[in-house]
Structure 1
Amino acid sequence: MSSLSKLEFFYARANAFTGTIPSSLLNIPSLLYFDVSYNQLNGTLEFGNISSSLEDLSLGYNNLNGPIPKSISKLVNLWILDLSHLNTQGSVDFSIFLHLKSLNDLRLSNLNSTTTIDLNAFLSSFKSLQTLDLSGNHVSARNTSSVSDPPLLSQFNLSGCGLTEFPKFLKTQDTMTILDISNNKINGQVPGWLWTLPNLDSVYLSNNTFIGFQRPTKQRLYSTWKSSMRYLFGANNNFTGYIPSFICGLHSLTVLDLSNNKFNGSIPRCMGNFSTFLEVLNLRKNRLHGGLPENISASVKSLDVGHNQLVGNLPRSLVLISSLEVLNVESNMINDTFPFCLSSLQELQVLVLRSNAFHGPIQQAGFSKLRIIDISHNHFNGTLPSNFFLYWTAMFSLGKTEDQSNRGYMGTSYYSDSMVLMIKGVEMEMVRILNILTSIDFSGNKFEGEIPTSICLLKELHLFNISNNAFTGHIPSRMANLRELESLDVSLNKLSGEIPQELGKLSYLSYMNFSHNQLVGLVPGGTQFLTQSCSSFEDNPGLFGPSLEKVCVEIHGKTSQESDIPELEKDEEEVISWKAAAIGFIPGISFGLTMGYILVSYKPEWFMNPFDRNKRRSIST
């Protein structure tokens, strides 16, 4: 390619290229734009006789290491410079950038440098700068208000820079659209003037030690302020008191996340006045009390108020939120019956009622897109009809029903849904939820009767927990149809008969618990059963067999005869299968998926970084 003597534009970003950057390509005299960011390139930077006419040099988000060549200071025509995630492995002379007076877009995040960046020097030197990303470095941002004539920034990222105070120069930044000062040590009040910046679109305040919000000044609020803010993230701070009512004036909000704080009082009723833009409302893990307001915005897709002190009933107006995909009210004091009306919500995928005071029986409900349901630790009772799961078609064959382009995680590039799940006997927080994760948790209630045989239809089910109830009868042998099942917990019930031998063929079933029942007969063979602990079978005196002998030091109540309890009649199951076919059941094909449960909050930067949009100026050739 170095023979292309008139080459001006070279774009190869966001691929999987490896190896070193060919310096001969950078030496083409006519080269103006060179972007190989978001690849897997390695080695050190060697510019050689780099073209001095370069206007865009984007090398960020690779595996490059070593020092920054001082010759970069000669690229005085640079308009865009991205060296993000360059592993400098030591000190950096940041003065080499101060010669680049034409810079409009400068990204130097996560350089792994021991040198502290003087923010004042950058603000004084770059008068044309619109985008500045110094996140993940040591930054000194004291006395920024003393900088005369700072550049008018549009996007500013100082996430994870060790800041202890709010940069005061921002007060005059009327062109600011995106501000990220998350993951710092800033305390005190969020300044009121922040909300009056007329073009502010996205604000990231999460993971600091803020204690409150100052109100916007009335004069500017009602005279010149136009609410254009769409994204407000304030999670993981020390906010106390009531949720400030002025937030309801941010009529363009799409995401409001105030989770993991210490807010008290009730949820402001004015939150129902948000426009049709609001998609995410997350007030999880606060100290809110009272009831859920009746007038939640009708455009919400994700509503999470878990881990508060809410009481009363679920508002029946929730049925009007036709876009609702996630509803999480776990760990409150809500006293209500099962919300059957929600089955009319065609987009509902996650329903979490865990650890409340819900009560009463549950009849058949048609949740066509439901993939995760957790109603554990409530007071539900009665029996579940055999056709209970008949219309839960999203778990029939997820690979066929999901849009291929939509695989990954729930949420958007700005926001990830999260929740707590009981996974293989351990309570885990899912920071992100896989689009293909399926789970049913009915544990800790008072259900009776037999396990619904329609469970055999859910061939894409990964987690199934009905422990600590009063289920009776046999374990359906056709649960062997649950080919993706990884975790099965039926402990602490009154189940009888044998553990179906067919379950030994479930290749992904890595956790199971049959303890504290009345099971008898031969324990299935197979690797899965041999890897369980003895506690998974305890308090079932009638169980025996080679598998049990290998996992248990003591064989509890070993018998010499297999159970003579006959296998469940299959007629009813076959009728259910025919019904399922009639409503469009298409058997799925196995993904061969071994689920990797995500316990850390990480997304590829090219997908998450809010500064990565609209960075290019128009080019006409």
Structure 2
Amino acid sequence: MRYSPIFFYQQFLSLLLLSLSFQATLSATHLCSHDQSAALIQFKTHFSISKTVSKDCEYGKKSYPKTNSWKKGIDCCLWDGVSCDNITGQVISLDLSCSWLYGTFPSNNTIFLLSNLQRLDLSFNDFKKSTISSHFGRFSSLTHLDLSSSSFSGQIPYEISYLSKLVSLDLSVENVFNLPNIEYLVLDDNPSLSCQLPKLNWTSPLVVLSASDTPFYGGLPETIGNLKSLQTLGFVNSNFSGAIPTSLGNLSQLSSLNLPFNNFSGNVPYSLTNLTQLWFNTFLALYPSQFKFLSLENNKFNGTIPSSISKLVNLKLLDLSSNRLNGTVRMEIFSKLQQLTSLELSANNLSLISPNSSVNFVLPNLEYVFLSSCNISVFPNFVMGSKVLKQLDLSNNRIYGQIPKFPWKNIQLLDLHSNSFQGDLPTLPRSINFFSVSNNNLTGEISCVCNMKFVGILDLSHNNFSGIIPQCVGNFSQSLWVLNLKMNKFHGIIPSTFAKGCGLRNLNLNSNQLEGPLTPSISNCKDLEVLDLGNNMINDTFPHWIEALPELQVLVLHSNHFQGSVVASKNPQSLSKLQIIDLSNNFFSGPLPTSYMQNLRAMMNLDKGKVAAYINGGYDFSIALVVKGLEVELVKILTIFTSIDLSMNNFQGEIPEMIGELISLRGLNLSHNNLIGDIPPSLGNLSSLEWLDLSSNKLDGQIPRELLDLTFLSFFNVSYNHLVGPIPQGKQFNTYENGSYQGNEGLCGFPLSRGCSSSNKQPPPAEMNSRHKEDGSMFEFRWKIVTIGYGFGFVFGVSLGYVALRMGKPRWLMTLFKLNKY
């Protein structure tokens, strides 16, 4: 019997369909078990859904509420995030990353009934600082566990070490134990935790170990050198102290070492020069070839840079900045680092020298050079050999002579401030967006700045530049946000070319020879925060157009030829952010500008807790003010700093009571005017006031006792007025000397030698009398208050000085420019 080919084809299809049907039937008998389905449904009920908790979901992961698909009657193997074994139907993988889960994770969660789990990912949810249950150790088949970025807290339970098959652990929490097969261990991003890295005899095949932004106490254990397979080691901002273990030099496979922002001390281990494979994987996305680097910045290393560093001939990035390195370093030790693109040694105590007048080598690939405060006396010629230089910082050195002509066409940052450069400015590259040569001895005109195209910061202050300010500075004001020409010899008028869209935030023309009226085109700079035109010869009336500057925080017009009255504000919402006003030493007349003072909401309700921020915090500007009778230059002004100085004018009339509403005011100077009337008792409301100068006016009446409540007031001067009656006694008033009251013939009492008669003594209030009877407790209380007041003033002043001296290069500069190289 013969069969046609069609017959065989039909039989083949029948067998195939029968086989598929059999497999489907077989699979149908192994659906997700009722127990596992019920365990997952119970797990779901523990949490609410909140989209915001997964808003920072890791790139590449989809963020959505996966548990919304979990419904009874549907095979749990078909639910989102759930994967099952094809044969047994057991749940073997649960991916609930970025699932919007919010709520406490109970220690006896029903998820632990899924005993066959091999992969578990709960990352990027919010479990409200739940502790990690010891029951995680029951997953004996688990190979991958990710609990990162889900707000777990506390210590990792010892039972995690039972997971002998684990090859990837991402917990982002503290204290980890021996896991014999672990290859990938991440303990990142837990700033609220603190732990000690265990000193274990690590022999696991770790390839990646990262614990950045998680605070540790103590140091790195020497046993870390046992991780012979380690390729990536990252402890950024991890609070480690002590010396870096020499055993790190044993990690011959290490290709990425990142240890910045810790408290390491001691010498840099010589053994680190053995790490010839060093490179930083993160940079591969930006650079086509391996970026080999050594980054140890922002620690406390001392000693000097070993000459053996020249052996790292493939090094591309060397960053040892912001440590305590010292000693003399010959620049020739870098001559063999021909692949170097970034050299950063700033903020140490090094002295970089060359035996010759110029360095006879070049580093042609240099893009970033930061050698601030390295005691350099000669411009380092090795940077001249690079045609690709983008950022150069040679500030705070001793370099003298002329600035060389710039060969760099693409340079973006050039910081040469605080040296001894002389002569004229060379032609500036068009590409520069940060240029500072402040605090040098440069001369001549500055028309060469017009060659720049998109400059953002231009600081030529504290030099001997002359001529007029070129009109071009207004033409590129859309990109320019800092223009500092302070302390030069510029004359003529201020450019009138500031156009709409002007992006200026800081305009400082203090201490020049500028004349003429102000240009109202400055009002086009809506983001202006600091306007300092003091110490010039500007002849104008009060610039009411400043009302159009909603962000203005500092206004300094002192020592000019301004005249006329400061008439009422036309806009009750204007100048609401103004915190420092200095109109002193002009020819203003008329009543005090009460209507403007009523707008100063920043002086009425400043948050005293915000002591970490600065006015115009993106740039290190300084202003000179009279503080407590002395002229001081303030740098990095805290946002809680407020002052009003209207002294040395011809203001008339009475001091308005409303000044007492400026409760955040720290300094008030109304001296050397023609003010009359009483001192308002409302000044006693200025609880933050540290200095008050009302001297050389025509004030009369008594000194109000309400001023006794100003417990921070350490400078007080009412001399040369017509005040009468007894000087208030007690608290900080017991510390003021005769000079605070001289020239007031009607005043009496301590500290003056003129006693008060019974007729002019002011009887203390009945409440005060009753307190005096309580065993001297009020006397003790008063001195406690005085101590607190002076303590705060001292701490505040010292803090300002310390910040100004210790901060060095501002972090914003490194963030704005340095990070671009990565």
Distance in 1 separating the partners of 2:612 and 2:510: 26
Distance in 2 separating the partners of 1:478 and 1:241: 53
Say if 1:520 and 1:563, in contact at 8 Å, map to a contact too.
no
Describe the shift of the 1:445–1:181 C-alpha distance in structure 2 as closer, same or farther (beyond 3 A): same
Match of residue 292, structure 1, among 494, 499, 505: 494
Match of residue 409, structure 1, among 589, 614, 630: 614
Say if 1:541 and 1:557, in contact at 8 Å, map to a contact too.
no
Q: Determine the structure 2 residue equivalent to 1:484.
A: 688
Say if 2:617 and 2:636, in contact at 8 Å, map to a contact too.
no
**Aligned-pair distance for 1:94?**
2.2
Distance in 2 separating the partners of 1:608 and 1:11: 26
Q: Is 1:179 matched with 2:392? A: yes
Say if 1:386 and 1:452, in contact at 8 Å, map to a contact too.
yes
Describe the shift of the 1:11–1:267 C-alpha distance in structure 2 as closer, same or farther (beyond 3 A): farther
Q: Determine the structure 2 residue equivalent to 1:120.
A: 332
In the TM superposition, what are the counterparts of 1:166-565 in structure 2 within 5 Å? 166-194=379-407, 197-213=408-424, 215-216=426-427, 227-243=430-446, 245-296=447-498, 298-365=502-569, 366-384=574-592, 387-399=595-607, 408-413=613-618, 415-544=619-748, 548-549=749-750, 552=751, 554-556=752-754, 558-562=756-760
Say if 1:387 and 1:453, in contact at 8 Å, map to a contact too.
no
Match of residue 318, structure 2, among 82, 103, 106: 106
Distance in 1 separating the partners of 2:583 and 2:678: 23
**Contiguous gaps of at least 5 residues in structure 2:** 1-175, 186-206, 280-292, 763-790
Q: Secondary structure at the match of 1:433?
A: coil
Describe the shift of the 1:312–1:147 C-alpha distance in structure 2 as closer, same or farther (beyond 3 A): same
- CA deviation string 1:444-495 (max 9, x = no partner): 1111110022212211111110011111101111122212111111111111
One-letter code of the match for 1:206?
Answer: H
Q: Is 1:165 matched with 2:359? A: no
**Aligned-pair distance for 1:320?**
1.9
TM-score by length of 1: 0.84
- CA deviation string 1:265-302 (max 9, x = no partner): 11111212215110000000001111111113622111
Distance in 1 separating the partners of 2:479 and 2:334: 36
Q: Secondary structure at the match of 2:671?
A: coil
One-letter code of the match for 1:132?
Answer: L
One-letter code of the match for 1:530?
Answer: N
Q: Determine the structure 2 residue equivalent to 1:580.
A: none
**Aligned-pair distance for 1:63?**
4.0
Distance in 2 separating the partners of 1:303 and 1:388: 22
**Identity %, equivalent residues:** 37
- CA deviation string 1:360-399 (max 9, x = no partner): 1112334222110000011111222654521222211122
- CA deviation string 1:149-191 (max 9, x = no partner): x341221112222323222233342322110111222222222
Task: Using the TM superposition, name which of 337-346 and 83-92 deviates more.
Answer: 83-92
Describe the shift of the 1:76–1:461 C-alpha distance in structure 2 as closer, same or farther (beyond 3 A): same
In the TM superposition, what are the counterparts of 1:65-84 in structure 2 within 5 Å? 65-79=265-279, 80-84=293-297
Describe the shift of the 1:40–1:542 C-alpha distance in structure 2 as closer, same or farther (beyond 3 A): farther
Describe the shift of the 1:98–1:481 C-alpha distance in structure 2 as closer, same or farther (beyond 3 A): same
Q: For the aligned residues, what is the CA RMSD?
A: 2.9
- CA deviation string 1:297-354 (max 9, x = no partner): 6221110010111111111222222221111111111111111121221111111001
Q: Determine the structure 2 residue equivalent to 1:43.
A: 242
Q: Determine the structure 2 residue equivalent to 1:33.
A: 232
Distance in 2 separating the partners of 1:451 and 1:166: 57
Describe the shift of the 1:12–1:209 C-alpha distance in structure 2 as closer, same or farther (beyond 3 A): farther
Distance in 2 separating the partners of 1:494 and 1:15: 62
Describe the shift of the 1:167–1:272 C-alpha distance in structure 2 as closer, same or farther (beyond 3 A): same
Distance in 1 separating the partners of 2:476 and 2:527: 15
Describe the shift of the 1:206–1:39 C-alpha distance in structure 2 as closer, same or farther (beyond 3 A): farther
Say if 2:481 and 2:503, in contact at 8 Å, map to a contact too.
yes
Say if 2:477 and 2:498, in contact at 8 Å, map to a contact too.
no
**Aligned-pair distance for 1:233?**
0.8
Describe the shift of the 1:329–1:91 C-alpha distance in structure 2 as closer, same or farther (beyond 3 A): closer
One-letter code of the match for 2:458?
Answer: L
Say if 2:425 and 2:442, in contact at 8 Å, map to a contact too.
no
Q: Secondary structure at the match of 2:545?
A: helix
Describe the shift of the 1:474–1:151 C-alpha distance in structure 2 as closer, same or farther (beyond 3 A): same
Q: Name the structure where helix makes up a greater proportion of residues.
A: 2
**Aligned-pair distance for 1:533?**
1.9
Say if 1:379 and 1:446, in contact at 8 Å, map to a contact too.
yes
Describe the shift of the 1:304–1:563 C-alpha distance in structure 2 as closer, same or farther (beyond 3 A): farther
Say if 1:386 and 1:453, in contact at 8 Å, map to a contact too.
no
- CA deviation string 1:564-620 (max 9, x = no partner): 9xxxxxxxxxxxxxxxxxxxxxxxxxxx97533623343276825628843896xxx
**Contiguous gaps of at least 5 residues in structure 1:** 565-591
Larger radius of gyration: 2
Match of residue 21, structure 1, among 212, 217, 220: 220
Describe the shift of the 1:256–1:616 C-alpha distance in structure 2 as closer, same or farther (beyond 3 A): closer
Distance in 1 separating the partners of 2:741 and 2:329: 60
**Aligned-pair distance for 1:37?**
4.9
Describe the shift of the 1:447–1:47 C-alpha distance in structure 2 as closer, same or farther (beyond 3 A): same
Say if 1:450 and 1:472, in contact at 8 Å, map to a contact too.
yes
**Aligned-pair distance for 1:44?**
2.4
Q: Secondary structure at the match of 1:170?
A: helix
Q: Give the paired residue count.
A: 567
Q: Determine the structure 2 residue equivalent to 1:614.
A: 819
Q: Secondary structure at the match of 2:597?
A: coil
One-letter code of the match for 2:437?
Answer: G
One-letter code of the match for 2:230?
Answer: L
Task: Using the TM superposition, name which of 131-140 and 473-482 deviates more.
Answer: 131-140
Describe the shift of the 1:321–1:308 C-alpha distance in structure 2 as closer, same or farther (beyond 3 A): same
**Aligned-pair distance for 1:130?**
1.6
Describe the shift of the 1:161–1:598 C-alpha distance in structure 2 as closer, same or farther (beyond 3 A): same
Describe the shift of the 1:391–1:609 C-alpha distance in structure 2 as closer, same or farther (beyond 3 A): closer
Q: Determine the structure 2 residue equivalent to 1:598.
A: 800
Distance in 1 separating the partners of 2:421 and 2:678: 55
Say if 1:407 and 1:436, in contact at 8 Å, map to a contact too.
no
**Aligned-pair distance for 1:234?**
0.6
One-letter code of the match for 2:422?
Answer: I
**Aligned-pair distance for 1:358?**
0.9
Distance in 1 separating the partners of 2:434 and 2:225: 39
**Aligned-pair distance for 1:441?**
0.2
Q: Secondary structure at the match of 1:512?
A: strand
Say if 1:191 and 1:214, in contact at 8 Å, map to a contact too.
no
